[in-house]
Structure 1
Amino acid sequence: MQLNVDLTQFDLFPIEFKEINPEDFMFTLDHSGSRIARTDFKIENGGNKILISPDSNGYVNDILQTHIELTHKNTVVINAPVGQGKSYAIIQTVKRYYDSPDKYLIFVASPFVSLIKQYCNDIVKDAGIPESQIYSYDNIGRSSIDYTQRAIQVITANTLLGNPGEDGFKNSDTKREYINTLVAHCEKQGIKVIFIYDEIHDSYHNFQQEYIFNLWKWRNVVHKNFILSATYNEASKVVIEYLAELTDYKIQIIESERKRFIDKQSTLHLHYSSDYNFTSRTKEINSLIKELVLRDKKLDILCYSKSLAKSLINPKDETGKLLIDNYKEIKDCTSELTVNQREENAEPNNQYDNEKCNVGTNFKTGVSIKKDNHAFVLFSLPEVPDFLLGISMVSFQEV
């Protein structure tokens, strides 16, 4: 059954989001749970956050750059929605530091390994920085490249923190040597360090108390932190406080207006299934994929589980055969790790590819999908009221 509902009445509704406000860093709780004032953090711009608006095309880069002072030591918190080009803007900031006559080492810390290659490619393409000046996480322990001679380091937040992940006992020796070598190099050469934490909403949980102290290795050379997200939460604010301690407790908050650009929005279709478990043979899944293939859509499918993703690309099943016959090569974007390790330290092959049909679990945030006539399908298991005895399936379609 399909419901036809006029949704234009919602166009003027305000867009709700988690704000980052100066008051978040001006008060704390004492041992009794009472709210008390604190004076250790300094909110710049006269104690107020900076409010910006996207340009007529919906982007914030031009206005954002006017508020970023390269030589000033502080922690910059950027709160901007999806689609306003905040990642592009931060890459342009990377270029400004790279072109500066001063010496800087720039870290781009990704929440996921699967985003590393995209960041590297975008820095080359959008900032015009030579690939020879970028060191990628994928090279750690796999090449003899002298990373101390590369101005830009694209790594994971876990590597920077020395966090081995949920299944690891300790960070690898090569990663610890990598960090310690760069710290010593920057101190010896007088190089200032810039840290960029993109998509912080997906890496805040990595900032565990036992690993935070590893950031203090950089205390003599850290110059600036950039923290970016479209979906902050309360835990993110604690991470901001940790990082701001390294920049003399100075915090600059930049928040972009949530503004609708109707012509840039995709259509959203919600599907519900009463099946208890999803597989490639689930009626609703099978019929939806058949419909999209019939409409000649370029297709990407994000799944809540590895087993579901694997079932969808199984060539022995009807759905998997359909996808392979239509798209030729399916990119398997599921984890290759076994007990948190990749066999023989091989380079990962499970990263999102804009030239292929991607099916998997690891492109849920930060990935730039650059396809025309595209459908993005999400299979999820949300928390729903008891009267909804089904599993929701969400599909975003670009018409």
Structure 2
Amino acid sequence: MQIKEVTPFTDLPINFKELNHSDFENYVFENEDKTIIEPDKQGYISDKLNEVIELYKKDTTIINASVGQGKTTAIIKCIEKYYKSDKNYTIIVATPSKSLVNKYIKDIEEVSNIQNICFDYQCLEALGITDKNFKNYYTKQIQVISIHSLLGNPGKIAVKQSNIKRKYYEGLIEFCKKNNRRVVVIFDEIHEAIDCFQEKFIFNLYKWREVIHKIIISSATYNEASKVVVKYLAELTNKKIKIVESTRCQNVSKLSDLHICFYDQFHIDVKNGFLIDLIEKQIPVSSKIHILSYSKKISKQIFNSKIGTILNNAYGEINLCVSGGNQYVEDKCNIGTTFRTGVNIDDENCSFFIIMPPKLSYMTPKGGMQMGLFSEGIISLIQALARPRKKSNIFVITPSPDKLILIPNKPVDYIAKTSLNYLPFDLENYQLKYYDINEQNRLLKDFYKSEKENISEEIAHVNEKELEIVPKFPDYDIYKLEKGEDYFKQYYDIFGKNLSNYFYWAAWNNQFVNCKLKNIIIVSTIKFEEGSIQEQLSKYYSKTFFNGRASYFTFYSDKDCYIKFRLSLFSNRIKYKHLKKEKYKIIAPYRNTNFEKQIITFIQRIKREFNFNILKLIYPPDGNRMNARNGKFISWKKPFDLAIELNTYLRICMAYSIELMMPFDKLSNQEEHLIRNYQSLYKFKDILLNDYSITNKKGELLLPKDSKIDFKKNDSIELKSIFNTLKENDSVLKSFSFLQKNADEKAIYSFIKKLFFEIKDTTFEESKYSRIISQIELPEKSHYINLIYSMEHPWILQPGYDVDIYSGKSIEES
């Protein structure tokens, strides 16, 4: 992979959705303008926010403050003041999801230092709950309820809210009336629940009209639709509104490093070497690693993949947190979908990976549901990036951008820098116009007017005629609430039409409060040409695996080196050209047998430099890397391609297996399984000689022709089991054209006969046989790499120095 360190542009102020008095015509504002507060030296606004929120004044207070500035802390302090100063308040904390209910209760009880003061609405879902239980619940001053439930939204399946919940809320309203309880409703993270405020559910909200004292609304990421929600809520506080807004600025002491990781495959492949390598490299420098995925399915795949195993080995038990399962756990590494918003990652120096939707998601109309966790567009991404609250590393796995969003008064090097020397952003067709997020209302209103104008005659017709059923074109606010965000995501890349294009623009222009772009990690395109593969692998190895005076290959086993090298290779885009072809074609792992064999040969020549039988074939005629004349160096030889054959590989595996005594506690179960099966395979050499061969008059051993073999039942079963086990457990065999999974015994017999013997067709007593000319001995294992298990001390069998095969010099010489 290529890592390009970059310096983002900082001329453009951080863009965010502002709320102004002009957004709420005909509503009441006590102050001439909104209240602006500045963060303190630590980047927090909690104390100042508590000073400006007038707890005992009836209004709808809007808090528009950045992520990580302490909005929630300030709100909990307000709750504490209400609770401790006057018992005549009922505080309803309306959360956007069930997953945040427990978190809020925990935080409230920790701040107040009082236990059991909150009612959790999820109690109403327990078996055996009846209205007889309600009286005890009503007396709880703090009621923590999801916004869905408060508005009577039954979800996508049910047609109405459950009777027990409906009765409870109506009873709570009556309880507040009878006891002169004033109700304060707090909507935190309201951006997550805009879809709840459908017109048909607003009526349930207005049931509270006689007891509402104050409404507090909080978010870092408002949108146009949220302005309509504010209007609905402000009707409950006599249309009185107060806007409190904080400036957006970065706190350098807590600023995380942002790493863009381009991933241009159409699907997320959790076995992809790029992803594994990326995550594995962060383990030594990360206190924890968390992975937020756009997809529940991908989260589960990661959890059960090699990545999950690696994290489990490094950090202990990891937590899978997806909808319907576990929630985020603070003291574990988390993989899942449920911590995009509302959850603080407070680990110092952690690595946080965000997996965005792959390229395929952008190929369906408007992305559709394939955007998963990021279906809400740019708000989803901004919230996700804000989870780490202390200095950390944030890695975003994303498709590379296909177009560049420009900026006003762009620097002269803007296009050159963002193009990274290969993206086509110098062409106008690959450039997009910039729009400020605070232009959205104008853009949407123009669109709304044009749509309405298109059917203006029909609207007039409906209004003039006395129709039995009268269709109504929605007024602007309703249209904004229902269709506004869809419009922006459909037409404007900077507002989420293409999330990768927005993210790339925002990262380059330093638009995120809690992180700053540090580098861009690119899966390189590497070209290999048949006949020169060994030479090109040498160059890749020297560029990728040397670190100072030591090579990765010096200190790790053959198997580990093969796996690491191969994964590293395929973390790039591999293009391959056949000798007789003109064009390069992208190849996928295990789809080109010659290339896979060349990788094995490469590891062989690097790890076993003293095997001159192989070196003579790679550096003919004598195996020497140098061209020399009269003992003087002339030039380095180009290595010839050499593809290891399947039979050779199997003989090496048997050689490494037959002398190994089991059990061996340093081996994995899979390695033990492989060794036992290679040992069993080797036994069939003697079984063929002892049980299936005959001797002719010359004393020569003859084996049946393939068509005449008739294995004993136990032998047939065992052979098929051996080969199926090897195919399932030895991934290296994918590099070869091997027996079909359901190969019959004749094919297996033909294969092992040639594996163990040199044979020649002959006739004996008028029947055809295979005459054994000689038995093929297993190779000297120390001369060949071991790809079936890892040695405890691999360097014992390594040469005394490492070689930079790109230059041909030893490390010691250089």
TM-score category by the smaller chain? 0.7 to 0.9
Query: Is 2:190 the counterpart of 1:204?
Result: no
- Structural RMSD (CA): 2.5
In 2, Cα distance between the equivalents of 1:261 and 1:369? 17
Q: 2:326 is matched with which residue?
A: 350
Which of 1 and 2 has greater Rg? 2
1:116 aligns with 2:72: no
Q: Which amino acid aligns with 1:223?
A: H
User: Identity across aligned pairs (percent)?
Assistant: 41
For structure 1, the 5+ residue unaligned runs are: 27-38, 337-348
Q: Is the 8 A contact 1:275 1:391 kept in 2?
A: no
CA contact (8 A) 2:87 2:141 kept: no
One-letter identity of the residue aligned with 2:311: L
**Matching of residue 79 in structure 1 with residue 64 in structure 2:** yes
Match of 2:80 among 84, 88, 95: 95
CA shift, 1:66, in A, is 1.8
Q: State the 1:216 CA deviation.
A: 1.0
For residue 318 of structure 1, what is the aligned residue in structure 2?
306
Cα distance in 2, alignment partners of residues 73 and 114 from structure 1 = 30
Please give the secondary structure, in 2, of the residue aligned with 1:225: strand
Partner amino acid, structure 2, of 1:5: V
Conserved 8 A contact 1:312-1:320: yes
CA distance in 1, matches of 2:80, 2:15: 33
Hey, what does 2:121 align to over in structure 1?
137
- Whether 1:359 aligns to 2:335 is yes
Query: What is the CA-CA distance between 1:233 and the residue it aligns to?
Result: 0.3
Q: 1:21 is aligned with what amino acid?
A: N
1:385: how far off?
Answer: 5.0
Matches of 1:377 and 1:126 in 2, distance apart? 31
Report the CA distance between 1:119 and its aligned residue. Answer: 0.9
Q: Shift of residue 263 of structure 1? A: 1.2
Give the aligned partner of residue 335 of structure 1.
323
User: How far apart in 1 are the matches of 2:203 and 2:52?
Assistant: 30
Shift of 1:184: 1.4
> Which residue number corresponds to residue 17 of structure 2?
18
Question: Do the aligned partners of 2:91 and 2:183 also contact (CA within 8 Å) in 1?
Answer: yes
- Structure 1 position 218 matched with structure 2 position 218: no
* Aligned CA distance change for structure 1 residues 260 and 190 (closer, same or farther; 3 Å): same
Q: Is the 8 A contact 1:58 1:84 kept in 2?
A: yes
Give the Cα–Cα distance (whole angstroms) in 2 for the partners of residues 297 and 101 of structure 1: 44
Is this contact kept in 2: 1:302–1:359, CA < 8 A? yes
> Would the aligned equivalents of 2:138 and 2:172 in 1 still touch at CA under 8 Å?
yes
SS in 1 for 2:275: helix
**2:167 corresponds to:** 177
Q: Against the structure 1 CA distance between its residues 391 and 86, is the aligned structure 2 distance closer, same or farther, given a 3 Å change threshold? A: closer
> What one-letter code is carried by the residue in structure 2 that aligns with 1:372?
E
2:353 alignment counterpart: 377
Q: Displacement of 1:13 after TM fit? A: 3.9
Note the C-alpha offset of 1:242: 0.2
Offset, 1:102? 5.0
The equivalent position to 1:42 in structure 2, one of 9, 28, 39, is 28
CA shift, 1:19, in A, is: 0.1
Shift of 1:140: 2.3
- Do the aligned residues in 2 keep the contact of 1:115 with 1:351 (CA within 8 Å)? no
Q: Map of 1:226-375 to 2, 5 A cutoff?
A: 226-314=216-304, 317-336=305-324, 349-375=325-351
Select the structure that is richer in helix: 2
1:361 aligned partner, one-letter code: T
* SS of residue matched to 2:214: strand
Secondary structure at 1:140 match in 2: helix
Aligned-partner SS, 1:176? helix
Residue 299 (structure 1) shift: 1.3
Distance 1:282 1:168, change over 3 A: farther
Aligned to 1:344: none
Check the 8 A contact 1:114/1:350 in 2, yes or no.
no
**Is the contact between residue 330 and residue 345 of structure 2 (CA under 8 Å) also seen in structure 1?**
yes
TM-aligned CA distance change 1:102 to 1:295, over 3 Å: closer
Whichever residue aligns with residue 332 of structure 2, its letter is K
Gaps of 5+ in 2: 363-399, 404-422, 425-497, 508-513, 519-814
Please say if residues 196 and 226 of structure 1, whose CA atoms lie closer than 8 Å, have aligned partners that are also in contact: yes
AA aligned opposite 2:266: Y
TM value normalised by structure 1: 0.86
Q: Is the 8 A contact 1:313 1:323 kept in 2?
A: no
| Match in the other structure for 2:55 | 70
Residue-by-residue CA offset, 1:71-120 (whole Å, 9 max, x unaligned): 21110000000111010001001111111225000011111111111111
Deviation by residue 1:345-371 (Cα, 9 ceiling, x = unmatched): xxxx52111111111111111111121
1:164 to 154, 157, 164: 154
Secondary structure class of the residue paired with 2:174: helix
In structure 2, do the counterparts of structure 1 residues 43 and 391 end up closer, same or farther at CA, with 3 Å as the change threshold? closer
